[in-house]
Chains A and B, each alone.
Chain A
Amino acid sequence: MKTRRTFLGLLAGATATALAVSSPSAAETLTIGIVSATTGPLAAPGKFQLNGFKLAAEEVNAKGGVAVGGKTYKVELKIYDTHCNAAAGASAMQRLASVDKVPVVLGELCSSVAAAEAPIAKDFKLPLILTVPTGPSLTRGGNPYLFRVNSHAALLNKGLAAFIAKNGWSPISYIAWNNDAGRGGVRTLGAQLPKNIKNAYTGYFNVGEVDFSSHISNIRAKKAKAVVLLMDEEPGSLAIKQIRSAGLNIQLIGTLAMGSNRFLKRLDKKTIAGMVQYSAFPPKADVLRIKNFSARYEKKYGEEAHGFAAQSYDGLMIALAAMKNGGTVTDKSRIREELAKIDYTGVMGKIRFDKNGQASPPVYITEWCADGTRKILAPKDAVAGCGKG
């Protein structure tokens, strides 16, 4: 009788141990904070940012999760809609830090909102990784808890300024968003242009404005040779449509939002042939990491990969890598230290943060070919023909 009881006890113990060993990680969840615009006028670019985060989380979870300090965690995203509003951003950041108690926050779409969130990150010693905002001053504030995966406006415009100077497109004109991205873009591009490139006209428009006729009249009257469109793909396509409808034959220069097939679909190949733009992620580039990401993104979302998605994908992977390296999902100071010294090759390329938390991934200049494909014009080591941009 005693032997039988001992046997049953051992069997129950063994079963319990086996169960504990086989499924310990399934119950563990690692919640990452996300701030972005999911509603409002900037919901469209916000969607691309979220797509990047979601794809990264899904891929990590599909492989069983992320192993940190001997435990495996499923990644869960706690998303807050800041609708590009500074007050909403600050409130979301506060909530993520004090209520949700996440170890790291990623995202944000707008620089002005990121500027409101950054001090809260510092106060709560909570790492904040930006993946889209381009305002240069953000990573100049000496905030040790702020990191930025994407290039800021000055870095993005550096190559473009050299390209404009090389082509002698003077006088130049600008139509830009009346926000930090647009004004920052005009300021940083203008500052990097040589003195012989004169500025004929600068016009700003508010988010949601769709009538560019006033700008077009001014650009025509000032006889500008080229127009730089510092805006997203939606207003960008509209501005180009109106420029061409008004019979203004001028060199078009755009942003990374204008180097995609989505953009081409809004217009047509004849209208944008010869247009150049800077790009942080040429989706058709003949580079393995880019090709793989583009294929996975296209499979999941049924459309061409977007630069914001690639940047955000890398942002989340970097956050997980920092936690892995630090062996913790709770010690935020440790995670910050690991982020500061990270050396990661992601979809965007090599990512390392400088002492201000700013990364400098590669920036490309692409041009629309007559057949509706793109080619890479710069940097020299990435130059590629039509269909490879």
Chain B
Amino acid sequence: MFDAILEQIINGTMMGSIYVLVGLGLVLIYGVMHVLNFAHGMMFMLGGYMAYTAFAHVTGDYGSAVLLSMLSLMAIGAVLERLVFKPLRGNLRNQVIASLALVLLIQNSVIAIWGPTGIQFKLSATEILVPIGGLRFSLQHILVIVVTFACMGVLFVFLKFTKFGTALRATSQNNEAATVVGINTQRMYWVSFAIGSALAALGGALIGPLFLVFPQMGDLPLVKALAGILLGGMGSIPGAVIGGLLIGITEALATLAIATDYRDAVTFVVIILILLFRPQGLFGVRVRGEA
């Protein structure tokens, strides 16, 4: 039983890391623009496709393929912000509808370009096995966890100690006050979109070789990441990290006790219970006038 628990903790941390990468992007965009971007899962999926295409047809090297994927998604994110979200700024409902429309548009475009069948992203890191106790995990498993934690560290330093990160946080805290002190908030909008999309792309590029690259690969991580940021507290970056990891590990461990098809139910029951006692989430701040 110990082996099974250890195996599930590692598996859960790996999946949780993916939810964290998606969740961090969502939180950045939500924090700055106060809009839930439902097309964020598509950025994750595009990240997988871009990394695969760069790896198979351009670089032949996984590291640079991941980097290319992140850069291209940064550009796509910035363009989407300019073309879709900027004209709708001030109308939250239309922004949400636009993000849902983007889901359909991007997903079907991907099917038209790469086809409906999942693509196998064959990488040697998935063949190399790392023994942990009596268990074996692919190197890619470990890579997902390590890269995500490294990324969290970089993001923390960027937001906390750089001028740009401080400006981003200021815009997130009070848009008008940020404008008054001379921050170009319009720039912050597309920067948050670009960074968020790049993080999602990293998630897709990391998970692609482990599983498959397919048009619907972003759907589930988006739902789980949303649940993670709700659990951690809307708008909170540490909350998105802890929330995502908690969801990943809880759902993995739950399957040892109950049927796997109830896995999501257990996760959401845990979320409901936590939110009953802390409606603002684990790291969220209670705002006057809100429940």
**Contact residues in A for B111 (Cβ distance below 8 Å):** 39, 43
Nearest CB in chain A: distance from B174 CB, A:
40
If A178-B261, A204-B260, A214-B263 touch, whether A221 touches B220 (CB-CB below 8 Å) is no
B259 touching A266, Cβ below 8 Å = no
Cβ proximity bits A344-358 to B, threshold 8 Å, 1 near / 0 not: 000000000000000
A214 touching B252, Cβ below 8 Å = yes
Question: Pick the contact of A238 from B211, B255, B261 — CB < 8 Å?
Answer: B211
**Contact residues in A for B197 (Cβ distance below 8 Å):** none
Cβ proximity bits B126-143 to A, threshold 8 Å, 1 near / 0 not: 100100000111100000
Question: Pick the contact of A204 from B117, B118, B261 — CB < 8 Å?
Answer: B261
Other 20 A-B pairs with CB < 8 A, given A203-B260, A208-B220, A214-B8: A39-B108, A39-B116, A43-B111, A203-B255, A203-B259, A205-B260, A211-B15, A214-B11, A214-B255, A214-B260, A215-B260, A218-B4, A221-B3, A234-B117, A234-B118, A238-B211, A245-B126, A245-B136, A246-B135, A247-B135
CA distance A246 to B129 in the complex (A): 8
Q: List 21 A-B contacts (CB under 8 A).
A: A39-B111, A39-B116, A40-B216, A44-B116, A44-B118, A208-B217, A209-B220, A211-B15, A213-B252, A214-B260, A217-B4, A217-B7, A217-B11, A218-B4, A218-B255, A220-B7, A221-B1, A234-B117, A234-B212, A238-B212, A245-B138
Please, which residue of chain A has its CB at the minimum distance from the CB of B219?
Answer: A208
Cβ proximity bits A210-230 to B, threshold 8 Å, 1 near / 0 not: 110111011011000000000
CA distance A41 to B217 in the complex (A): 10
CA distance A203 to B136 in the complex (A): 21
**Contact residues in B for A246 (Cβ distance below 8 Å):** 7, 135-137
CA distance A43 to B255 in the complex (A): 29
B116 touching A210, Cβ below 8 Å = no
Please, which residue of chain A has its CB at the minimum distance from the CB of B207?
Answer: A210
Please, which residue of chain B has its CB at the minimum distance from the CB of A38?
Answer: B116
CA distance A202 to B212 in the complex (A): 23
A211 touching B120, Cβ below 8 Å = no
**Contact residues in A for B4 (Cβ distance below 8 Å):** 217-218, 220-221
Task: Judge whether A47 is part of the interface by a CB distance below 8 angstroms.
Answer: yes
If A39-B116, A214-B260 touch, whether A208 touches B11 (CB-CB below 8 Å) is no
Of A39, A203, A245, chain B has the most CB atoms within 10 Å of the CB of: A245
If A39-B111, A44-B118, A217-B4 touch, whether A210 touches B211 (CB-CB below 8 Å) is yes
Task: Judge whether B100 is part of the interface by a CB distance below 8 angstroms.
Answer: no
Please tell me the size bucket of the interface on B. 20 to 34
Please, which residue of chain A has its CB at the minimum distance from the CB of B253?
Answer: A214
Task: Judge whether B256 is part of the interface by a CB distance below 8 angstroms.
Answer: yes
B11 touching A213, Cβ below 8 Å = yes
CA distance A218 to B4 in the complex (A): 7
If A44-B116, A266-B120 touch, whether A213 touches B261 (CB-CB below 8 Å) is no
**Contact residues in B for A215 (Cβ distance below 8 Å):** 255, 260
Nearest CB in chain A: distance from B123 CB, A:
12
**Contact residues in A for B263 (Cβ distance below 8 Å):** 214
**Contact residues in B for A208 (Cβ distance below 8 Å):** 216-217, 219-220
Please, which residue of chain A has its CB at the minimum distance from the CB of B264?
Answer: A206
**Contact residues in A for B251 (Cβ distance below 8 Å):** 214
Please, which residue of chain A has its CB at the minimum distance from the CB of B122?
Answer: A266
Cβ proximity bits B102-118 to A, threshold 8 Å, 1 near / 0 not: 00000010010000111
Cβ proximity bits B205-249 to A, threshold 8 Å, 1 near / 0 not: 000000110101101100000000000000000000000000000
**Contact residues in A for B7 (Cβ distance below 8 Å):** 213, 217, 220, 246
CA distance A34 to B119 in the complex (A): 27
A-B contact count, CB below 8 Å?
Answer: 90
**Would you list the 7 A-B pairs with minimal beta carbon distance, nearest first?**
A43-B116, A214-B255, A210-B211, A213-B11, A203-B260, A247-B136, A204-B261
Cβ proximity bits B55-76 to A, threshold 8 Å, 1 near / 0 not: 0000000000000000000000
Nearest CB in chain B: distance from A274 CB, A:
20
Residues of chain B from 1 to 47 with CB closer than 8 A to chain A in the complex: 1, 3-4, 7-8, 11, 15
Nearest CB in chain A: distance from B262 CB, A:
10
If A203-B259, A238-B211, A247-B135 touch, whether A213 touches B8 (CB-CB below 8 Å) is yes
CA distance A211 to B221 in the complex (A): 12
**Contact residues in A for B1 (Cβ distance below 8 Å):** 221
CA distance A245 to B138 in the complex (A): 7
Of A204, A210, A214, A237, chain B has the most CB atoms within 10 Å of the CB of: A214
Nearest CB in chain A: distance from B221 CB, A:
10
Nearest CB in chain B: distance from A164 CB, A:
22
Please, which residue of chain A has its CB at the minimum distance from the CB of B117?
Answer: A44
Please, which residue of chain A has its CB at the minimum distance from the CB of B8?
Answer: A217
CA distance A289 to B260 in the complex (A): 43
CA distance A245 to B260 in the complex (A): 20
Residues of chain A from 229 to 263 with CB closer than 8 A to chain B in the complex: 234, 237-238, 241, 245-247
Please, which residue of chain A has its CB at the minimum distance from the CB of B255?
Answer: A214
**Contact residues in A for B220 (Cβ distance below 8 Å):** 208-209
Residues of chain A from 1 to 57 with CB closer than 8 A to chain B in the complex: 39-41, 43-44, 46-47
Please, which residue of chain B has its CB at the minimum distance from the CB of A205?
Answer: B260
Nearest CB in chain B: distance from A186 CB, A:
12
CA distance A28 to B74 in the complex (A): 55
**Contact residues in A for B214 (Cβ distance below 8 Å):** 210, 234
Question: Pick the contact of A221 from B117, B118, B217, B256 — CB < 8 Å?
Answer: B256
Please, which residue of chain B has its CB at the minimum distance from the CB of A210?
Answer: B211
**Contact residues in B for A206 (Cβ distance below 8 Å):** 261
B259 touching A204, Cβ below 8 Å = yes
Of B3, B11, B111, B260, chain A has the most CB atoms within 10 Å of the CB of: B260
**Contact residues in A for B252 (Cβ distance below 8 Å):** 213-214
